[in-house]
Amino acid sequence: MSKTLFDKVWDSHVIQKINDGPDVFFIDRHLIHEVTSPVAFLGLKNRGLRVLHPERTFATADHNTPTINQHLPINDPLSANQLKALEDNSKEHDIVHWGLGHKNNGIVHVIGPELGITLPGATIVCGDSHTSTHGAFGAIAFGIGTSEVEMVLSTQCIMQTKPKKMRINVDGKLGDFVTPKDVGLYIISQLSTSGATGYFVEYAGEVFENMSMEGRMTVCNLSIEMGARGGMIAPDEKTFEYIKDREFTPKGDAWNTAMTYWKTLKTDVDATFDKEFNFKASDIEPMITFGTNPGMGMGISKEIPVFDSKKGGKATYEKSLAYMGFDQSDAMIGKKVDYVFVGSCTNGRIEDFRAFSSIVKGKKKATNVTAWLVPGSHVVENQIKEEGLLTILNDAGFDLRQPGCSACLAMNDDKVPAGKYAVSTSNRNFEGRQGQGSRTLLASPIVAAAAAITGVVTDPRSLK
């Protein structure tokens, strides 16, 4: 029977199908971090259980870590406590742990691919919804709750009902300054934040074939923002090239065996999906969000849409715009910007910093803007330095911080103050996401760069 890429990976990991219930699903790789794992370890302890496969489990500290002075003790006792718990639990259960300052440390979804933990055909989970990022490699990867973290720690399995299948095709060529982030935000704006709930998405078509691995990660990362369980892209030569010779990638014979398997990982021509969408690359411009969920995005040159009565939810729409301090029909271009955040598992990789640098090169940061540039990992941080980007950034008036999730969720000190506007390359513009009362405009690193040097929302295509 014809199968989709998703079917192939899913079905090969089902240990048992429960009648009128979920599948018992085996997990190849489990990534853990300090915020969603402590209670799971506590659960294990209470049940007198141990981690079943420590060699399949990887721990990094990222969510609440500071992004300056990482060598100093952490001020916030609660954060320090969580980091300590991660370290102690990892030690007790023989799990590899990359704490603050370790060369492999960074945002969990940035380091997985970097270290070759993320592989095609693998099943990967983490107590963080943006685990969908790893789908860029043809893996089934999704976020889980803490009870499920406990489940995977103790049994390497999870109980899941197989999601429905959706394919999203984007064909054609992307225009100037249109990035993978814009593709993601565009799709979410078309489908809404619940448009893919209950589905696992495969991205296909020319745009994704031509996209770099890092771009594919950005797109898969955003899958969760339209409600999807995850998103994936069939592995190809680019994928194999990317993973070859990384720390945890199979080597020698194991590599050859794996390659034979990986090459089978594509959707059969006559396989079918429960839902399919087709978009054209030429319809996508640089995007920006104007509201308080990632579905409220628009082409940067457009005006904030007037409420569409067919969609319902008028009160919610008005509440959202009121929170943002915007009106229907406002242009976004020219809106004042106070903060610019470049980073997160969506846009915290080297290509993102290259893109940002290419725009700010030879220019100066606007004086009204506070900019936080936060690499996704130490590897990225070093690349920025080695490629000479740091000099470009410094010359333009920008500093580089140390790796972590930072203002993506503002659990550490990187909080946007109430009422202030932040152009952010992260993934969520929820009320207060970047600090109590903060107002977030999601955009690509290029749009962020244009805002950082002009101090207002600016169409990068209009820059000289």
Partner 1 sequence: MAYDKFTTLTSTAVPLPIENVDTDQIIPARFLKATERKGFGDNLFRDWRYNADNSIKKDFVLNNPIYKGKILVGGKNFGSGSSREHAAWSVYDYGFRCVISSFFADIFKNNCLNIGVLPVQVSAEFSQKIFDAIYKDATTEFEVSLEHQTVTILSTGEKESFDINGYKKNNMLNGFDDIDYLQNIKSEISAFAENLPL
Rounded Cα–Cα distance for residues 343 and 454 (Å) = 20
Site string for ligand SF4, 301-340 (x = CB under 6 A): ----------------------------------------
Which one of residues 432, 455, 461, 463 is an interface residue with partner 1 (CB under 8 A)?
432
With tokens 């995005």, the residue in question is 297
| Region from 89-97, 200-208, 265-273, 402-410 binding ligand SF4, contact rule CB under 6 A | 402-410
Residue 122 interaction partner, one of partner 1, ligand SF4, none, beta carbon < 5-8 Å per kind: partner 1
51 contributes a contact to ligand SF4 by CB under 6 A:
no
Which one of residues 272, 278, 316, 328 is an interface residue with partner 1 (CB under 8 A)?
316
3 contributes a contact to partner 1 by CB under 8 A:
no
What sign does the CA torsion over 316, 321, 322, 327 have?
negative
Residue 193 interaction partner, one of partner 1, ligand SF4, none, beta carbon < 5-8 Å per kind: partner 1
Of residues 60 through 119, those in contact with partner 1 by CB under 8 A are 63-64, 76, 78-79, 81-82, 85, 119
Q: How many residues bind ligand SF4 (CB under 6 A)?
A: 14
Which one of residues 40, 174, 345, 355 is an interface residue with ligand SF4 (CB under 6 A)?
345
- In terms of CB distance, is 230 or 286 closer to partner 1? 230
Of residues 125 through 154, those in contact with ligand SF4 by CB under 6 A are 128, 130
Burial tier of 301 (Cβ tally within 10 Å: 0-12, 13-18, 19+) = middle
Which one of residues 79, 118, 427, 440 is an interface residue with ligand SF4 (CB under 6 A)?
427
Residue 81 interaction partner, one of partner 1, ligand SF4, none, beta carbon < 5-8 Å per kind: partner 1
Which one of residues 4, 67, 239, 293 is an interface residue with partner 1 (CB under 8 A)?
293
Of residues 321 through 380, those in contact with partner 1 by CB under 8 A are none
CB 53, min distance to partner 1, A:
7
CB 132, min distance to partner 1, A:
10
Which one of residues 108, 258, 396, 442 is an interface residue with ligand SF4 (CB under 6 A)?
108
Which one of residues 2, 11, 45, 47 is an interface residue with partner 1 (CB under 8 A)?
47
- In terms of CB distance, is 359 or 411 closer to partner 1? 411
- In terms of CB distance, is 210 or 436 closer to partner 1? 436
Which one of residues 344, 357, 377, 454 is an interface residue with ligand SF4 (CB under 6 A)?
344
Tokens describing residue 418 = 């109430």
Residue 310 CB: number of other CB atoms within 10 A? 5
Q: Using CB under 6 A as the criterion, which residues of the chain lie in contact with ligand SF4 when the complex forms?
A: 62-63, 107-109, 128, 130, 344-345, 405, 408-409, 426-427
